[in-house]
Structure 1
């Protein structure tokens, strides 16, 4: 299985090198093939290479010898060759399924997180106290690690935290009672955080597993705010997998039950609804649905009128600034780079307390500059983003942006961008 995974990554690297040598961007190749840019990005990272027809289309477009992509030399090859080709693709598919169940001997934080998300007996916990107050503090710390972009520490923390929350629920049930609503709420929040982390890692397969767990615990808790937060991360997973229309419907359906009477709602309620609406903005703009994008933005601005949070914690990243930031992102998504830069300019002078949000502003600014071909300005924006949240800049989506910019920038005219690309370990 490991060999199959390595072969998938090798094929992706062959595609990427062919594209870069032709000085073409992912977007350019995707448009020629009739795909979205994210499709090319996934292929180059070794995901989706089990589809023979897609590989043949890529080989033709980039002039890659079919054998280098594990294909037979011609579409009308012998039946035996075709069977071999199909078996190779099946091997890749099997390796993707096997990735959900790590080897027993492995002890990495990533493997531990996958194990604690799988059904079955609860893995060993952290041996920490299972007192609800202590567990609540630990969940709050996990959220803080996410918002400060300390993903490595969060990845180490989450397996033990989730195991302890599950064990606490089992203890309540074994003593003749039932797991409290608060324990279910805390566990749902931990699963939501795990989902968000996995999406940062571009591990959509495991993210589906985590968000399913989050939804189940949210429903068990009976708390509409916890359910809204779980719906928000589920919409994120849907949108990441290019199911934006379904994500928009999901957000609409949930928000319709929660919006209104904002002057009588507590801050946590307003922030949960606001963050859900902002997820709708992202999904709708990704789908090219301008009407839905504006509808979600308008409602989120209305919610923000009643929110005045300026403190660390689970809800502190929703306010009017975050709404404005999502407007910038939506403008970038639909290619309105000039309007996006105009909207971003006042935000760069505002205080944004959450590092993830500060970094996101500068990454979106870099995308807008890249759309205009202003690669030097885009590089400077990325360097500022790195000062805000170094680990966030190393996630795959940003590395793809850097690779695309470096492919279009002449090495002599912008050597610092190429140095930055190497430092992020973006394949040259």
Structure 2
């Protein structure tokens, strides 16, 4: 856990750089970031609160991004602690089961519809950011699905394979983004791809590519992630006769935009233009689909609006992010995870604007109320909270911020 590492991201950066015998000048040249900025980060005067900066530095140092962010973080609340406690059982489930393995137990009792309902519940728990409950349920659910697949007659096997893939996907994203175990997330997405490959369904294959891109991006390889997402999008565009294909294509435009925000070596203007092009394509598709839960996702105009805020934040276009937030109504989605992301990213942007510190704290507190487990585990939010704690703020705001920092386990 991260308590065994230097506490501040800047300290972790300095430690990694010195271990490699690398000067600040060399690191600046390799990462595309300035010597002055890196010096201030190492001295605690600036914070690494943009994913693209973390990715560029990790790539230059040849380390995983988690070595800079300190993930997985030590749990600071009972629900998050419960999720981490379930990880060993999830690890065994992921490593110990694969398609074609002879089942050593009888198939689960009850109709296949019961498994369908449990997979839908797993996806609801994920979108609701109840990671503790989801983590506890996953090992048994994955085990029973594997047994059901291997016992199924040929006619019933495809539906069970779809359910198996749909159970692996929330496992992947929970482990990857919110608990901080990218290697386990890669196993989960690989297991899902194995089930999908047997289905021989182009759209399902593209969906698998979407989740693979998420893993590659979070593991610090936006170039590979972008290539994987583009490959998946090409597949979807060949099968647009299916109405739900438009929602998947829209999500693939969003993840391609996210990949581009992490590539700090592209010229700023070129990168911003490409991001905006993908956002515009996604907005056009969202107008066609409306709000939809296809593929257990949340594509539609609201999610595109949330991405306008988050991606402009990651590009350092803080004023644009705040301006884009005006018409976004996250409750429309009934997905606490997306609502929390909106408030958190808006708070991150406000924290960079002169005189908007109190507004930033308001948004960060709203994000925590909406999905505390997600927000407590977000390294960019933790950096923002740490930066705000050191600023002069109205007394009530300062007290609320210190309380938030304490609940997150963040020290100034």
Q: Please list every run of 5 or more consecutive structure 2 residues that lacks an aligned counterpart in the other structure.
A: 13-39, 73-83, 265-270
8 A contact 2:330–2:339 mirrored in 1: no
Q: Give the match for residue 66 of structure 2.
A: 42
C-alpha distance in structure 1 between counterparts of 2:199 and 2:364, whole Å: 41
- 1:304 matched to 2:280? The reply is no
Larger Rg: 1
Q: Please list every run of 5 or more consecutive structure 1 residues that lacks an aligned counterpart in the other structure.
A: 1-5, 49-106
Find the partner of 1:283 among 252, 259, 264: 259
Find the partner of 2:151 among 171, 182, 195: 171
Over 3 Å counting, the alpha-carbon distance change for 1:205 and 1:36 in structure 2 is closer
Ranked by relative contact order (alpha carbons within 8 Å, sequence separation 6 or more), the top structure is 2
Shift of 1:133: 1.8
- 1:328 matched to 2:309? The reply is yes
Q: Give the match for residue 97 of structure 1.
A: none
8 A contact 1:229–1:272 mirrored in 2: yes
Q: Give the match for residue 194 of structure 1.
A: 171
C-alpha distance in structure 1 between counterparts of 2:362 and 2:145, whole Å: 43
Shift of 1:256: 1.6
Q: Give the match for residue 24 of structure 1.
A: 45
* Paired residues for 1:10-409 under 5 Å: 10-13=4-7, 23-27=44-48, 35=57, 42-43=66-67, 46=70, 108-119=85-96, 129=109, 131-172=111-152, 177=154, 180-199=157-176, 200-259=178-237, 264-266=241-243, 268-288=244-264, 289-309=271-291, 314-315=295-296, 317-348=298-329, 351-372=332-353, 374-406=356-388, 408-409=390-391
- Per-residue CA deviation, residues 82-124 of structure 1 (Å, 9 max, x unaligned), is xxxxxxxxxxxxxxxxxxxxxxxxx942111111100456899
- Per-residue CA deviation, residues 159-206 of structure 1 (Å, 9 max, x unaligned), is 11111111112223xx7x587122211111111111011012111121
Q: How many pairs align? A: 357
What is the TM-score of this pair, normalised by structure 1? 0.73
C-alpha distance in structure 2 between counterparts of 1:13 and 1:375, whole Å: 24
Shift of 1:403: 4.2
8 A contact 1:182–1:221 mirrored in 2: no
Shift of 1:247: 1.1
- Per-residue CA deviation, residues 196-222 of structure 1 (Å, 9 max, x unaligned), is 110121111211111111112111122
Over 3 Å counting, the alpha-carbon distance change for 1:130 and 1:171 in structure 2 is farther
C-alpha distance in structure 2 between counterparts of 1:171 and 1:126, whole Å: 8
Does 189-198 or 348-357 show the bigger shift? Answer: 348-357
C-alpha distance in structure 2 between counterparts of 1:337 and 1:149, whole Å: 26
C-alpha distance in structure 2 between counterparts of 1:109 and 1:323, whole Å: 33
C-alpha distance in structure 2 between counterparts of 1:118 and 1:210, whole Å: 9
- 1:420 matched to 2:400? The reply is no
Shift of 1:259: 2.5
C-alpha distance in structure 2 between counterparts of 1:169 and 1:154, whole Å: 21
8 A contact 2:306–2:342 mirrored in 1: yes
Over 3 Å counting, the alpha-carbon distance change for 1:135 and 1:127 in structure 2 is same
C-alpha distance in structure 1 between counterparts of 2:147 and 2:190, whole Å: 19
What is the TM-score of this pair, normalised by structure 2? 0.75
